[in-house]
Amino acid sequence: MTGSTQRLRGLAAGAAAAAFLSLGTAAPTAHAAPEPTHATTPATDCALPGGTGWTDEGHTTDHTQFQQPLGTKHVLMLFVDFPDAQAADPISDYYRQLAPAAQWMKRDSYGRTALDITPLDRWIRMPQDSTSYGFQRGITFEQHEAYVRQAVAAADPYADFSRYDMVYIVPAKSASAITFSPTYLYDPTSAGITADGKRLKWAVTFGQDMWHWGYKVADHETSHTFGLPDLYAFTGTDYHRFVGGWDLMGDIAGASPQHLGWERWKLGWIDDPQVACLASAGHRTVRLKAVESPGGTKIAVIRTGATTAYVAESRRAIGADSQTCSTGVLIYKVDTSTQTGYGPVQIVNGNPGATPPPGCRALDMAAFHSGQTFSDPATGVRIDVGVSSPLHDEISIGKR
């Protein structure tokens, strides 16, 4: 789910991924030097400003409200039960379910972001029944903040919150009323939550859906604290019509869940020299290296407006994308003025007639192959896919 800067708004239930937003820095780690792109246009000419005032795909994220996505994030994991839903199983089961999120984030960010997750080794009893907190799709910001505040207050005698950047709050399995996993983003205009002299700005409150989505729900929700929007649809019946399984912010359980190259650029996980930019009429050839592998030119961006662009990247069946449904050049449209849940990223399906294998959707077959061409007459954009190798695709991009 997502919300305005002040309050939360409900989302469609059902197949939609469990994401919900209710309303800080460390040095990046070392990484391999990128291959030269021989760019004729500065990458910054293709960086688009945010246009929603909230989570979006723009490069102008407000890092007083959203967490800086570089360096080590120290996370305190709390385990809570309730008067009406008391814990009957060991904390270690819950920690093991979510702990792999740290390794996933490290690999996805090329080592630039680390989650240092510290579990508080005890059950914390919440003061109210689990059914009283309003964990349904219409939960309000006030209800969510009250839940976080009570969990922090109950844990405060046992933990020093001044040591942590954010909090994970994990409910007992018996608390069936705590259904899904909202992300708490603080409201800078309110008193908020303070513990041990530190303002608590960011928290993920897990629900029972963590047992369905697995540890990647922690990576999805933590990415909201970095300013990323939801890429699945809030309306309609096909919740994954925009990006399918091509990004963690869409379908958490998708076959190709690694963050899109555009988002990696926004987050600072790839650098400007790894971006080939075409901001005006022209033409150039780009050799893309698969986003799943460090180094190289990661994305080609063709700017089409004040808040719009087409992006091309190379995807391969390696790393977290080892189960991908198709490989090749992924092409998508970015609109940084489009709100979370309404299609800020839309994948172009290069193979609309393909029959998806079991476990794949039609859009999961979207990657373009050698010899294929994408063109958009409305913007004058054309992308021709040339030769490929195990980790690279050569493309020709142009704009009238």
Listed in sequence order, the DSSP H helices in the chain are: 91-98, 101-108, 141-155, 210-213, 216-225, 261-267
Contact between 244 and 251 under an 8 Å Cβ cutoff? The reply is yes
Q: Dihedral sign for Cα 72, 98, 109, 13, please.
A: negative
Cα separation, 395 vs 385, whole angstroms: 5
157 three-state secondary structure? helix
β-strands 345-347, 328-335: how paired? antiparallel
Residue of 262, 354, 321, 289 lying closest to 47 (CA atoms): 262
- Give the amino acid at 141: F
Cα separation, 36 vs 150, whole angstroms: 51
Q: Dihedral sign for Cα 172, 146, 52, 9, please.
A: positive
Reading the chain (400 residues) residue by residue, the pLDDT tens digits are: 433 333 343 333 333 334 444 443 333 333 343 343 344 689 999 999 999 999 999 999 999 999 999 999 999 999 999 999 999 999 999 999 999 999 999 999 999 999 999 999 999 999 999 999 999 767 899 999 999 999 999 999 999 999 999 999 999 999 999 999 999 999 999 999 999 999 999 999 999 999 999 999 999 999 999 999 999 999 999 999 999 999 999 999 999 999 999 999 999 999 999 999 999 999 999 999 999 999 999 999 999 999 999 999 999 999 999 999 999 999 999 999 999 999 999 999 999 999 999 999 999 999 999 999 999 999 999 999 999 999 999 999 999 9
Cα separation, 218 vs 322, whole angstroms: 20
Cα separation, 6 vs 16, whole angstroms: 23
Name 171's bridge partners: 80
Q: Which residue has the tokens 């958009």?
A: 376
Cα separation, 122 vs 340, whole angstroms: 36
102 three-state secondary structure? helix
Domains 21-30+70-225 and 261-399 share a fold: no
CATH classification code of 261-399: 2.60.98
Written as six digits, the tokens of 200 are 């608590």
Phi, psi of 244 (to 5 degrees): 55, -135
Q: Which CATH class for the 21-30+70-225 domain?
A: alpha beta
Contact between 357 and 284 under an 8 Å Cβ cutoff? The reply is no
**Residue 136 has what pLDDT?**
73
Domain range list for the chain: 21-30+70-225, 261-399
Listed in sequence order, the DSSP H helices in 99-215 are: 101-108, 141-155, 210-213
Residue of 137, 130, 131, 398 lying closest to 279 (CA atoms): 398
Q: Which residue has the tokens 């919150």?
A: 161
**pTM value > 0.85:** yes
**Residue 137 has what pLDDT?**
64
What dihedral angle (degrees, nearest 10) is formed by the CA atoms of 290, 59, 73, 135? -100
Cα separation, 332 vs 360, whole angstroms: 18
